[in-house]
Chains A and B, each alone.
Chain A
């Protein structure tokens, strides 16, 4: 079954001095979120950016895939603390996403955990969408 998710942005003005509002997301879980070029390409000062949203999507997708892989292998996670860091090079594009996970997983050794994490990194749907154009990196450890 196909699943669709929608978000809407309204932008005013040009790129450098204008700004946008992300709103009307399907779930209503977040928004309105402000975006502008300075917060995207320079220091983040309280406004989000496409790269921050990609990081959130990737960390969320990876955590789900890993929880599933671990449970299927017979060692369900108690907790997975994951982070994604996405690199944007203005003029070049989005170049890299680094996943970091610390797992609390009863009855699994470090090697098996790393293999499960590697599998999730390769196969979660967001990785699938990024792969080919973006370097993916993983650091996985047990708590």
Chain B
């Protein structure tokens, strides 16, 4: 593990009781996930529904307790920390949610919503108000937004309030969980631009969760692809895009709408079948192997010769 890793997780496991509560059967949402974020970097976590990416995000913030594995934040071990001790750390690690409307309390004004996250810092009233206003301004909204309720905001504005809320306590680490997925494609750009500007200015360390590889490409330094609860490939973003190895990564890239504009429907279907076939050949619990600098992939034949810990 790198010395200047701000956040890291080792062999993280999380299970949920199966739907219907059948005894014995549990859904393994996250299995043996290892990852690390160096101060100031943005790691993109890509996967579709059921991949476990949102669960990983919540585990890193200890909003869920892991069933196994360790989570470390700035030297603190989180997995066994009590609720009270965790509360002290929370202002330093925040989350932005996917759906701006359900993530904001419908009966609180923007000022109250953002201000609530500042309460744990116990500031004097005037400083509290000033910092809330500063956070609102930071996300490009004016003072007149302080008194507005979520239903009076557009999707983009509501999401900005969500971002202001996450940043008001000056956190070191942010989990951005699908923050543009619920927005119109035309609004996504402004939110992404905002995020990129803020993380540069505030030196944020970010876990950017998304199902959309194209979006991840814009904001992340490194990307990790998750499939069925495990990380199957991870690399610096450009490298991942340029030379993906794992069939699931390639399937994701292939599925980007408009990406295969030159192939016809038949060709695309054939490609998909081919990739699906390849995917079946990878054992689920195959360990990650470093094939080139910084580029780790699951090994296809599941050789357990030298199980590596991925960075």
Tell me, yes or no, whether A binds B: no
